[in-house]
Structure 1
């Protein structure tokens, strides 16, 4: 996917920036020293060329991806005082023409799923199958990353995301996403319900930091890292990349963490997110002093 984001202070001019949650997470993992593979559809156009160059240039393996003769999906970002809103161009695009690589899932210690591919046809069935296999063979990490668009059925989209969260061993969600997914519950209550199923659940709250929930243990919170905010696009994806990097390198994908380890994971992830907020673009760097 390509994000069309404001060019500096001129809200009337847009700049094309490679993005999409799964791609942002993949690049984040690579920038933090990992060896991620990206499963996606790359457009047969100049935007697809740019996305491919961005991913491969970061060190992301693209052998599981496909490049059908279709255009790249677009997301028009409108930053505001209360976060970013998006308008999407999704139909008949390569972005959601995913190849079925279910047989390859067992090669990986962890699989990340989330973003629009979980709710946009024809990707829905492929993502669901991959998620089920990942949950069976290893660790499935999910960020529901709720997005609304006139072309999507809201009720059906939310139900698909809830099903994905139910499969996961790790769920990272913003407080806003939790309210959309479970509107009749307090976000903290939703996190505890998810954690009761044996999951590691992390709720992010923007400038108010993040909290992790594990069944049978006290919640662990860390503040956001103070930074002069230049950009917030991709901060949640950077947080997820930092979290997965820590889990893979420091915990061997074990999600049954002590309070001290949980705090260390959150601090690393928060520092990674802060590195994106401090400059333009969505690529994180390893947080200093963590």
Structure 2
């Protein structure tokens, strides 16, 4: 049976990242990607029951994506399927993080199912990223998110992307709407600066938290802070690690956070301060496990090598 109070529904994109190969000039390797898909794999790896609902096409990339999801233990029965190709994201890593150029139009990736009737069957529902702003997926995300906010726990990670293929104004409005619907928001300082320009990230977090939300602010090497309506902010340092890769670190943080929330017995937007600190520390170690190696699949936290702190969440 799909779902249950301890299970998570992840709704969004699974696509292919084209990532530069070190030492090979312009050669790029095809890598499993899409923030929601990374979160689904991370949750399964950490032992949390998870169903992924994305759009899977009819090409070899789609078959590879589904094999990767299933191998990790992710349930894929809620995915929509078509004969269209898989979306591509060309990764451009830099000192300040990774930018992307997207090839999204006429792909299966954004033909998402509307699961508003199924949202209440899960303990938590995760949405965010490209699927929240690219139609026709965005309409399905909005409908499912609204149902999750009413019948389950809605976890939103806006994961703002900048690219000429995206409508920045409409996309920002859609992501702000999802954040206001959510019971839990996990966002980077850059996400919040792009969505609420003119306001500091801390100010935005306090404003969102005042509405009864649990808001998690990530700052890469400077760690993370949780805001609630009733308690002082709780901060945890980033886990020290020798950085090999930063792609997928923020997704691993989200997976670690959600997994730990479920492990405390219930998905709730009102955890105790000690639980909040534990969740942030667990999520930081999960993110660090991705930074310490190539690829985007995290390891269950069990201590990481000491070194410089992970720069990207």
| TM-score normalised over the length of structure 2 | 0.91
Name which of structure 1's ranges 250-259 and 113-122 shifts more when overlaid on structure 2. Answer: 250-259
What displacement does 1:189 show?
0.3
1:197 aligns with one of 182, 192, 211: 211
Task: Output the CA distance in 2 between the equivalents of 1:24 and 1:85.
Answer: 17
2:118 aligns with one of 89, 97, 104: 104
Output the aligned Cα RMSD.
1.1
Q: Please give the secondary structure, in 2, of the residue aligned with 1:37.
A: strand
The residue that corresponds to 1:188 in the other structure is: 202
User: Is 1:42 aligned with 2:56?
Assistant: yes
The residue that corresponds to 1:252 in the other structure is: 266
Task: Output the CA distance in 1 between the equivalents of 2:17 and 2:191.
Answer: 20
The residue that corresponds to 1:273 in the other structure is: 287
Instruction: Name the count of aligned residue pairs.
Output: 290
Counting only pairs closer than 5 Å after superposition, residues 73-92 of structure 1 correspond to structure 2 as: 73-92=87-106
| TM-score normalised over the length of structure 1 | 0.98
Cα contact 1:247–1:255 (8 A) shared by 2:
no
The residue that corresponds to 1:130 in the other structure is: 144
Task: Output the CA distance in 1 between the equivalents of 2:178 and 2:165.
Answer: 21
Task: Output the CA distance in 2 between the equivalents of 1:256 and 1:268.
Answer: 18
Runs of 4+ with >3 A deviation = none
User: Is 1:226 aligned with 2:279?
Assistant: no
Bigger fraction of residues in helix:
1
What displacement does 1:40 show?
0.5
Task: Output the CA distance in 2 between the equivalents of 1:258 and 1:199.
Answer: 13
User: Is 1:58 aligned with 2:58?
Assistant: no
Cα contact 2:35–2:129 (8 A) shared by 1:
yes
Cα contact 2:99–2:162 (8 A) shared by 1:
no
The residue that corresponds to 1:68 in the other structure is: 82
The residue that corresponds to 2:256 in the other structure is: 242
The residue that corresponds to 1:12 in the other structure is: 26
Task: Output the CA distance in 1 between the equivalents of 2:142 and 2:244.
Answer: 35
What displacement does 1:149 show?
2.0
2:300 aligns with one of 269, 286, 290: 286
The residue that corresponds to 1:150 in the other structure is: 164
What displacement does 1:151 show?
2.2
What displacement does 1:216 show?
2.3
Task: Output the CA distance in 1 between the equivalents of 2:291 and 2:109.
Answer: 26
1:163 aligns with one of 171, 177, 192: 177
Q: Please give the secondary structure, in 2, of the residue aligned with 1:64.
A: coil
What displacement does 1:276 show?
0.3
Q: Note the alpha carbon deviations across 1:57-101, whole angstroms, 9 max, x for none.
A: 111000100221100000000110000010000001100011222
Q: Please give the secondary structure, in 1, of the residue aligned with 2:55.
A: coil
Give unmatched runs, 5+ long, in structure 2.
Answer: 1-14, 305-313
The residue that corresponds to 2:45 in the other structure is: 31
User: Is 1:209 aligned with 2:223?
Assistant: yes
The residue that corresponds to 2:276 in the other structure is: 262
